[in-house]
């Protein structure tokens, strides 16, 4: 679910409430370094089936991505 918190305290409040209600998960941020394109998603799982579910990775802009090259010596 995409949400629009006004400050970091609201992010903490909603995630703490979800965890107390029995969900697992957290917040996924798309384009974290962009003030215009930044989006926050509350990602929750219920019934963890005995293991923790990994959170999806947030999207990055081309400028934020790091390119790694392997070169033969």
Q: What is the pLDDT of residues 31-45, one digit of tens each?
A: 988 888 899 999 988
CB atoms < 10 A from the CB of 29, how many?
15
Q: Evaluate whether 23 touches 47 at the Cβ level (below 8 Å).
A: no
Structurally, how many domains does the chain consist of?
1
- pLDDT at residue 73 in the model: 42
In the chain, pLDDT over 70 holds for what percent of residues? Answer: 73
The better pLDDT of the pair 32, 63 is held by 32
- pLDDT at residue 46 in the model: 83
Q: Which domain holds residue 29?
A: 1-73
pTM of the model: 0.65
- pLDDT at residue 25 in the model: 86
CATH code of the domain covering residue 73: 3.40.50.150
């Amino acid at each position: 679910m995409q949400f629009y918190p006004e400050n970091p305290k609201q992010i903490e409040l909603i995630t703490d409430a979800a965890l107390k209600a029995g969900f697992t998960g957290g917040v996924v941020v798309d384009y974290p370094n962009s003030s215009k394109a930044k989006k926050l998603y509350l990602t929750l799982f219920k019934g963890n089936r005995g293991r923790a579910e990994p959170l999806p990775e947030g999207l990055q802009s081309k400028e934020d991505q790091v390119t790694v090259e392997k070169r033969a010596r």
